[in-house]
Structure 1
Amino acid sequence: MVVKVGSSSLTTHSGMIDVDRVDALVDVLAARRLAGTQLVLVSSGAIAAGLGPLGLAARPRDLATQQAAASVGQGVLVARYTSSFARYGLRVGQVLLTADDMMRRAHHANAQRTLARLLDLGIVPIVNENDTVATDEIRFGDNDRLAALVSHLIRADALVLLSDVDALYDGPPSRAGSRRLAEIRGPEDLVGVELGKNGAAVGTGGMVTKVQAARIATGAGVPVVLTAAAHAAHALAGEDIGTYFHPGGRHPGTRLLWLAHATTGRGLLHLDRGAVEAIVARRKSLLPAGVTAVEGEFAAGDPVDLCGPEGRVVARGLVNYDAVEIPDLLGRSTRELATELGPEYERELIHRDDIVILEAHG
């Protein structure tokens, strides 16, 4: 089981780690672990934990100070978990990841092996975004997404997202008449639901990132429970609490999952209508003849986004050429290119096995 907890559930208003909150969470997790369940804890809170020691009254806006706070706070956070789990004779291990680690296959495999070995050894892995080196990940609070990817990485039986809100509602929870959504079976159940955009004062996530994380996990066959940290014991016991997201029927391979959710396009390839149709509707490879323009700087093997004539991104794939090579290939057949430039050019820009569809083409 993967459990994710947000900054606001672990800290005081001043940004210091709340020892009582940490201990209360660990009480629940330790009981479950000692009952035989393997657990991975994805914990935010490093930046928030660094605010107090650095004398900062609020979360800093500039990246360098955020990274400094994370550097100080990560040690505080893990030390607190180490001490709290030790009350039950349990040991923890720190695992710091970035989205880039999930993107690159060698790093991805290493993370998978490390987590599996820690679990085999009876350790409770404490996973966090590596905020001291991350960039966009800090600003957008990707620990929700990271938790979803980790749940797929270790083939978890469930993902529990703990927040300061007890469930997903069809409107602001504070508004009279807002109704708790006990179950989400698919995207149709979210039509008309108002999702807040901002996270708590010490965090970066919000309900949007949690719903996106649930979508990633359930798309990989992992059920998700979203509730408040105060209800953790009920959630881990499988009680009717919070919001339950039913897993989807499809179980995509790790390769396509990380391509869709753990990568960012390093460039952009503009496709004509025929190429969009071939890729989206017929799941074909992308050939040079269907590309009209290229943007960005990227190398062979990098992820790039594919967009149609209207500028809408429809897919992402791992490109077989450097960006500087592609302009001379555009609009030409692979047979023509092989005849003129050599047999090594008789290959796709992107093979169909390296393409993931991001949006249905209408």
Structure 2
Amino acid sequence: MPGSARRPDALPERARIVLKIGSSSLTRPDGGLDLNRIDVISALVAGLRGRGHDVVLVASGAVAAGLPTLGMVQRPAELRLLQAAASVGQSRIMGRWEASMSVRGLVAAQVLLTAHDVAVRDHYRTVRETFDALLSMGAVPVVNENDAVANTEFNLGDNDYLAALVSHLVTADLLILFTDVDGLWTARPGSAGAEPIRLVTDPAHLASVDVTGRGSSLGTGGMRTKVQAATLACSSGTATIIASAADAVEILGGAQVPQDKGTWFLPTGPHRPSRRLWMAHASLPQGRVLVDDGAAQAVTVGKKSLLLPGVIGVDGDFESGSVIEIVGATGLLARGICRYSAADLREVLEARRDGTPAPDHVTPVIHRDDLAELPRTA
């Protein structure tokens, strides 16, 4: 990767760490829970806690854990069957985490999230406060989306994104995404010319890297979702490692992190206030505005407010005070709290097209203080 930055050889001291381990890493080939892997991860979490780290665990596997009990041999496509499997499997997998951690002196705390919990600002604050309380008392939050009630239209998506969102919620220093592949490669591992990428200083440098590999039959994510999650986390000050769960002991078990294991993504931006994080990654936009190149430049490069002259289109039906998206010629640029309703903006645009005097508005469409720029993801 371009740049002269050096890959760290150790975890940050007394860091707040989010560990995500996926379904493919927690289940055996026959679909049952891999109890040994759960015990290994629990022991590593205990070791991290003993070295002064805070740890949040984002654990997939509820659906996979419920399939054998319900007599299903593969992940179903029908939503109600997925929810049924999750309902059965969630208690099974959480029970195993609790048992495995308790013998090591840890308190496991189940946190099941829905999209509504983070999309609504007041709920988002409550979730942050819950995490802060649990971590301050030494508990290990075990997080998953509440798949038993999530629907396809309003959910948090795969657990890679959920882990990135949790890293924002707890202001993590490091996000580790454990998978069944040894980090990011230039092409599918095993194919001709494929080489591992051990350090990424800027996800923009990955434009030529093939990350189209799909997830396993038991999971929902693939390498693309992990790179997107890393991009989101790094943009807000959280370094990220993508690594094989088989290498977890080598990566987390000692003072040094091997240089030849996994891919380390360096932060590309500072930690941001929770309000901006919520706008950027958790809010539910009510509409969008299309802006010209000058406005796009002002918002992204100039770090300025979005003004009326730069708006060239409106989509959606929203009121003043709603979170909306800002879209330019290159795609999605930012989210922010709009100070106009969609009707007000359309009135201005119609007057502009008709050549008639536009309503006298001087307030910014989105003030800089209410704007959160978005990282570009592959």
Q: Give the drift of 1:180.
A: 1.4
Aligned equivalent of 1:295, options 300, 310, 315: 315
Whether 1:15 and 2:35 are equivalent positions in the alignment is no
Give the letter for the 2:85 counterpart.
A
Determine the structure 1 residue equivalent to 2:126: 110
Q: Which residues of 2 match residues 255-274 of structure 1 at below 5 A?
A: 255-274=275-294
Q: Tell me by how many angstroms 1:323 deviates.
A: 3.7
Provide the rounded CA distance (Å) in 2 between the counterparts of 1:31 and 1:11: 23
For 1:115 and 1:242, the matched residues in 2 are separated by: 28
Instruction: Report the CA distance shift for 1:67/1:318 in structure 2 as closer, same or farther (over 3 A).
Output: farther
1:61 is aligned with what amino acid? A
Gaps of 5+ in 2: 1-16
Aligned to 1:341: none
Which runs of structure 2 are paired with 1:83-98 in the superposition (5 Å)? 83-98=99-114
- Read off the aligned partner of 2:349 and give its amino acid letter: L
CA drift of 1:356 comes to 2.8
2:279 maps to amino acid: L
Other-structure match for 1:76: 92
Q: CA deviation at 1:188?
A: 5.0
Task: Confirm or deny: 8 A CA contact 2:121 2:278 kept in the other structure.
Answer: no
CA contact (8 A) 1:337 1:346 kept: no
* Displacement after TM superposition at 1:277 (Å): 4.4
Query: Is contact 2:231-2:375 (8 Å) kept?
Result: no
1:315 match: secondary structure:
strand
CA drift of 1:99 comes to 4.1
Tell me, yes or no, if the aligned pair for 2:171 and 2:271 is still in contact at 8 Å: no
Q: In the alignment, is residue 4 of structure 1 matched against residue 20 of structure 2?
A: yes
Q: Deviations over 1:242-288 (max 9, x none)?
A: 11112225333333333233345332223345544443444333344
Higher RCO (CA-CA < 8 Å; seq separation 6+): 2
Q: Output the amino acid matched with 1:261.
A: H
SS at match of 1:59: coil
Deviation of the 1:324 alpha carbon: 4.6
Q: Partner residue of 1:342?
A: none
Q: How many equivalent residue pairs?
A: 352
TM-score scaled by length of structure 2:
0.83
Answer yes or no: is the 8 Å Cα contact 1:196–1:207 preserved in 2.
yes
Contact 2:287 2:325 survives alignment (8 Å) = yes
Hey, what does 1:319 align to over in structure 2?
Answer: 338
Q: Deviations over 1:105-162 (max 9, x none)?
A: 3222211111111112221110112223333589884311221222232222322111
Write out aligned runs for 1:170-189 (5 A): 170-187=186-203, 189=205
Question: Judging changes above 3 Å, is the alpha-carbon distance between structure 1 residues 299 and 134 closer, same or farther for their aligned structure 2 residues?
Answer: farther
Task: Please name the residue that 1:354 is paired with.
Answer: 370
Amino acid at match of 1:239: V
Q: Is 1:30 aligned to 2:49, yes or no?
A: no
Q: 2:288 is aligned with what amino acid? A: L
Contact map agreement 1:285 1:352 (CA 8 A) in 2: yes
Matched residue, 1:146: 162
